[in-house]
Amino acid sequence: MFTQTAKLVHQHLRRMHLLHDKAYVNGQWVTAASNKTFPVVNPATGATIGTAPDMSTQDTQQAIEAAHQAFQTWQDTTAKERSHLLRKWFDLLVQNHENLAQIITAEAGKPLIESRGEVAYGNSFIEFFSEEARRIQGEIIQSPIPGRKILVEKQPIGVAGLITPWNFPHAMITRKAGAALAAGCTCVIKPAEDTPFTALALMELAHEAGIPKGVLNVVTSSRENAPSIGNLLCTSPLVAGLSFTGSTQVGKLLYEQCSTGVKRIGLELGGNAAFIVYKSANVDSAIKGAIASKFRNCGQACVASNRFLIENPIYDSFIEKLLQEVRNLKPGGNVGPLINQAQFDKVSSLVEDAVSKGAKVLAGAKPSDHGKLFYEPTVLTDLTPEMKLYKEEVFGPVISIFRFDTEEESLKIANDTERGLAGYFYSQDVSQIFRVSKKLEVGMCGVNEGVISTAEAPFGGVKESGVGREGSHHGVDDFTYIKYVSLGNL
């Protein structure tokens, strides 16, 4: 069923005006200066959807210069003007909801129902920041000196480089670009090489909305050219800030590269979320939250639960009910493929390492016969610290279960990681809810909830999971400077 749907989507794409095989720079659809391209492959079928320009630093420099030139006028637009254009963009995104979802399914491999959910989620950021543009306020501070006024205002930083991942190719762009444009910044966007067509479709609709040339630019490239493009965005004196969503390893490298220019930086990096179920929890609700938190996008989400900690008195009943739900998950049905061979190999390797060291397999733990990049939904128990899965983010459809006896023990295990993006726990004990939510070392905490992302809430982590926040009114902070103006002798 999934493969047949993917084929129908692929056929429909060829008739879609949103599907572009050229990059978008300074309001124009352009090829790479070298005329080189790279293929974009549907991970569910292995079919090539099309090709995109394999751009280099030369092409990226032109995009940066276009964004810098556009900033000279865009920064002087009123908040109302920016709000109006963002709203027009949002309206077009809504009108093209189904076409956007089909592009995501074709290049990211998600089931169509999940792609539709991502489009709704991604669109919500443009709607939110169209409204937030008019609420980026300054302040007047009481002066200690007579005859002086202290004014504080927020100003756009300039050109923002946005480097986005493949797992949410729509929402990760709109969450960043919506905030940047609302603040008065211009953007150079580098989408992941696996999913460039979603980014280009967004640009088509931004163009139709009337967003001026140079304000938004998309540079596509193969994996080989990505590091040099990233370095240029980090080191160019014309780029004022960088926002990146991706792995902690790459985030650390970009952080270092940005330090040469002391650039404004926002990093949303990897997670290793714990999912704790205490004995007072509503187990049925916890099971529902566990499935949603783990298997969305085949587990390929930075906020996906990684380590499941179950209190001893409910351990057996939780596992029994969990396995019933996991058996209803079907690769090629409601669970899509992993994005590429490298990701498939990583998931397989982590599971094989754990099993070879004594982990018990309750479900899955093997490739699916549905297709080359499909992996069976997997449940493992009896994990120990020497297993790679004990510490590493799996980024796949694998549940690792741990047993604990006390609240203190659960927190010790949950916090025993260098990452601190999201965490989840289920409890009906009000006192415990306040204690645990305070002590979990994460930037986002879901209490009796398995899906917590929304445009209105700040998204980001602590420890090695990143710097800054996206979404909410805090989302514009990475794209604004605070300027203090002192008016004397009044």
Residue spans of the domains in the chain: they are: 2-269, 273-463
Q: Enter the tokens of residue 248.
A: 């902690």
Give the model's confidence band at 417: pLDDT under 50 very low, under 70 low, under 90 confident, else very high. very high
Residue 14 confidence (pLDDT): 58
Give the model's confidence band at 57: pLDDT under 50 very low, under 70 low, under 90 confident, else very high. very high
Mean of pLDDT values over 394-404:
96
Residue 296 confidence (pLDDT): 94
Domain 273-463 in the same topology as domain 2-269: no
- At 195-224, the pLDDT tens digits run 999 999 999 999 999 999 999 999 999 999
Closest listed residue to residue 422, CA positions, set 455, 475, 476, 465 = 465
Residue 175 reports pLDDT greater than 90: yes
Q: Are 488 and 148 in contact (CB under 8 A)?
A: yes
Q: Enter the tokens of residue 107.
A: 């290049």
Q: Enter the tokens of residue 462.
A: 């602590």
Query: How far apart, in whole angstroms, are the C-alpha atoms of residue 21 and residue 36?
Result: 12
Q: Please spell the DSSP secondary structure of 397-430, one letter per residue.
A: SEEEEEEESSHHHHHHHHT-SSEESEEEEE-S-H
Residue 304 reports pLDDT greater than 90: yes
Residue 461 confidence (pLDDT): 97
Question: What number of CA atoms fall less than 13 Å from residue 300's CA on the CB side?
Answer: 25
Mean of pLDDT values over 400-409:
97
Average pLDDT, the chain: 96
Residue 1 reports pLDDT greater than 80: no
- At 18-34, the pLDDT tens digits run 999 999 999 999 999 99
Residue 320 makes CB contacts below 8 A (sequence gap 6+) with none
Q: Which CATH number fits domain 273-463: 3.30.390.30, 3.40.309.10, 3.30.470.20, 3.30.390.50?
A: 3.40.309.10
Residue 10 reports pLDDT greater than 90: no
Q: Hey, what CATH topology would domain 2-269 get?
A: Aldehyde Dehydrogenase; Chain A, domain 1 (3.40.605)
Q: Which DSSP symbol is given to 260?
A: G
- At 85-99, the pLDDT tens digits run 999 999 999 999 999
Q: Are 191 and 173 in contact (CB under 8 A)?
A: yes
Residue % of the chain over a pLDDT of 70: 97
Q: Are 436 and 411 in contact (CB under 8 A)?
A: yes
Query: How far apart, in whole angstroms, are the C-alpha atoms of residue 5 and residue 111?
Result: 9
Residue 9 confidence (pLDDT): 55
Residue 5 confidence (pLDDT): 52
Closest listed residue to residue 403, CA positions, set 360, 356, 347, 357 = 360
* Residue 426 bridge partners (DSSP): 277
**Pairing state of beta strands 149-156 and 480-487?**
antiparallel
Cα torsion at 339, 341, 343, 349 (round to 10°)?
150
A 10 A CB-CB count for 399 gives 28
The angle at the Cα of 219, spanning 217 to 223, to the nearest 5 degrees, equals 155
Residue 13 reports pLDDT greater than 70: no
Mean of pLDDT values over 280-284:
98
Q: Please identify which residue in the block is written with the tokens 């085949």.
A: 298
Closest listed residue to residue 451, CA positions, set 268, 292, 276, 298 = 292
Residue 269 confidence (pLDDT): 97
E strand residue ranges, 323-395: 360-363, 378-381
Relative orientation angle of helices 171-183 and 79-95, to the nearest 10 degrees: 160
Residue 91 confidence (pLDDT): 98
Query: How far apart, in whole angstroms, are the C-alpha atoms of residue 453 and residue 459?
Result: 7
Give the model's confidence band at 140: pLDDT under 50 very low, under 70 low, under 90 confident, else very high. very high
**Pairing state of beta strands 466-467 and 264-268?**
antiparallel
CA 451 to chain centre: 14
Residue 71 makes CB contacts below 8 A (sequence gap 6+) with 156, 158, 159, 185, 186, 214
Q: Are 421 and 379 in contact (CB under 8 A)?
A: no
Query: How far apart, in whole angstroms, are the C-alpha atoms of residue 410 and residue 194?
Result: 37
Residue 233 confidence (pLDDT): 98
Residue 16 reports pLDDT greater than 80: no
268 is catalytic: yes
Q: Are 184 and 75 in contact (CB under 8 A)?
A: yes
Residue 6 reports pLDDT greater than 60: no
Residue 215 confidence (pLDDT): 98
Give the model's confidence band at 410: pLDDT under 50 very low, under 70 low, under 90 confident, else very high. very high
Relative orientation angle of helices 57-74 and 226-235, to the nearest 10 degrees: 40
Q: Please identify which residue in the block is written with the tokens 């415990």.
A: 432
Catalytic residue among 132, 193, 268, 407: 268
Residue 216 confidence (pLDDT): 98
